[in-house]
Amino acid sequence: MKKRWMFVIISVLSIFVLASCGSGKYDKSIDSVFSLEKDKNVWNNEEKGQINRSKSEVWVFNDGKYIEIDFPGKDYKNKPITYKRYFKLNSKDEYETADFDTKTYIKEDAKLVYHEKNGEQVKE
């Protein structure tokens, strides 16, 4: 009886570990770009609270080379808007804000490999 329970526990733990590893391929990269955006001096504390995965939409392109994040905010009249930010992986394997040409490439030619909304993966 003890062997059976041990087998069940190990099986459940194995399934949990495998499931969590598979879904987190881009977690480190996504967390990195959110940190970059939060660290900018243009945001007050209330706005920084809006910059997180649970309130945002994220697209990862070309195996993590490019990332787009959309997150909620307010304009100067306090009306709701969506901020769009684009990042690219540089030669030092660090993310940086993408320039205009890179944004155009992402929109037109980059291959989408991962998409999430409000922290949950979206199946395409």
Give every CB contact of residue 100 below 8 A, 6+ residues apart in sequence.
none
Q: In this predicted structure, what is the pLDDT of residue 23?
A: 56
Cβ-proximal residues to 124 (8 Å cutoff; 6+ apart), any chain: 112, 115
- How sure is the predictor about 48, in pLDDT bands with cuts at 50, 70 and 90? confident
Its pTM stands at 0.77
What are 30-47's pLDDT values in tens digits? 999 999 999 987 888 888
- H-run or E-run covering 120: strand 120-121
Boundaries of every domain in the chain: 25-121
Helix (H, G, I), strand (E, B) or coil at 30: helix
The pLDDT tens digits for 77-119 are: 999 999 999 999 999 999 999 999 999 999 999 999 999 999 9
Q: How far apart are CA 104 and CA 43, in angstroms?
A: 25
Is the predicted pLDDT of residue 17 greater than 70, yes or no?
Answer: no
* DSSP class per residue in 46-86: HHHHH-SGGG-EEEEEGGGTEEEEEEEEE-TTS-EEEEEEE
Q: 25-121 has which CATH code?
A: 3.10.450.560
The whole-number pLDDT of residue 71 equals 94
Which pLDDT band, with edges at 50, 70 and 90, does 19 fall under? very low
Distance CA 34, CA 67 (A): 10
Amino acid at 27: D
Per-residue pLDDT at 117: 96
> Contact at 8 Å (CB) between 61 and 106?
yes
